[in-house]
Amino acid sequence: MISCTEFLAISAECCPLHGLHAMNMPLHDTAVLAPALSSQLVCKNLVLSEDAYTANRGHGCSQAVVMGSAPLERQAGGLYFEVRVNGTVDATAGGLAIGVTHTAPEELAEVPGKAKDVPLTFAIGYDGLAYLNGCEKQLGWNPERLQIGQRVGLLITDDGRGDLIVFEDLKPVVQISGVALRDAGLMAGPLYPLVDLFGSTSVVILAPTAVPPSQRWCPLLWDHLEPAELEPLASDMLQSTRAVTTQPPAADLLLQSTRQVV
């Protein structure tokens, strides 16, 4: 078994710069202000606070997806946002899903029932699931047990790998390979924060400012997905069930996979 240091060294050698580097996003030296939640998705089952940083789910788990009103901005470490659980319900399976999407809220023709109904979305959570734009994989991390006051963050790294890392109380619990993200459809374009208030999680507060943890952890110690591990959904689920009012980004923005075919 290789050590953490050896794993990180091998990863750096195998993965050329991509992701945020390919997007040419400006780098902010200090913590950036997270975009307020979009009022576009407010409905009978979803209420936002006056400042649009708190989201409250009503009854049931459908139509409780919240999205940022603007794309995430790059800071030291990458693209990062964080929510704090501020309300829970008992006797409900699963928990919140946290993710990012290339789809702007104003592009949605109707309120989505779930995160998967938003095109070009990558979300982690529910009852231990990674959903990557039509592909999914069961994970060990289950947010069902999250309690009031706990924090969940999501980072797209700018270290040249472009990985997606989920943190629970600043500790990493899931990593999705940047190669897997690109193979699933991640593009060199704006990414909006997204949270699905599912299962036991009924209220979240989006942190106005949050910085990603600065430490480096060994991915061997927690859920780590590579492209070969992802399973496509049934063919009738590969396309979003929600129409969008604008065309997706041009195909030439697609990031190319760095996998070698042997």
Supply the mean pLDDT for the chain: 79
- Alpha-carbon gap, residue 195 to 167, rounded angstroms: 14
Tokens of 22: 């390919």
Residue 87 domain-assigned (yes or no): yes
- Over residues 196-204, the mean pLDDT reads 96
Q: What percent of the chain has pLDDT over 70?
A: 71
Q: Residue 124: enclosing H or E segment and its boundaries?
A: strand 121-126
239 pLDDT more than 50:
no
Question: What's the burial of 62, exposed, middle or buried (CB within 10 Å: 0-12/13-18/19+)?
Answer: middle
- Alpha-carbon gap, residue 241 to 118, rounded angstroms: 8
Q: How far is CA 253 from CA 21, 124, 250, in A?
A: 13, 24, 6
Tokens of 146: 């999250």
Does residue 122 contact residue 176 with C-beta atoms inside 8 Å? yes
Residue 223 domain-assigned (yes or no): no
Tokens of 159: 């270290």
Residue-wise pLDDT tens digits, 241-254: 233 444 444 333 33
Lowest mean pLDDT among 69-83, 133-147, 223-237: 223-237
How many separate domains does the chain show?
1
Residue from 120, 116, 122, 104 nearest 246 by CA: 104
Residue 120 domain-assigned (yes or no): yes
- The domain of 90 spans 23-208
Quote the pLDDT of residue 31: 72
Q: Residue 205: enclosing H or E segment and its boundaries?
A: strand 201-206
**Start-to-end C-alpha separation, the chain:** 24
Residue 145 domain-assigned (yes or no): yes
CATH of the domain at 118: 2.60.120.920
Quote the pLDDT of residue 128: 94
238 pLDDT more than 90:
no
Residue 193 domain-assigned (yes or no): yes
Tokens of 179: 């190669």
- Alpha-carbon gap, residue 24 to 17, rounded angstroms: 12
Residue 17 domain-assigned (yes or no): no
Residue-wise pLDDT tens digits, 15-63: 433 455 555 666 777 778 899 999 999 999 999 999 999 999 998 889 9
Q: What is the DSSP string of 44-88?
A: TTEEE-TTS-EEEE-SSSSS-EEEBSS---EETTEEEEEEEEEEE
Residue 174 domain-assigned (yes or no): yes
- Alpha-carbon gap, residue 255 to 160, rounded angstroms: 13
Three-state secondary-structure class, residue 107: helix
Q: Please list the residues that pair with 81 across neighbouring strands.
A: 154
Residue 227 domain-assigned (yes or no): no
* Predicted TM-score of the model (pTM): 0.78
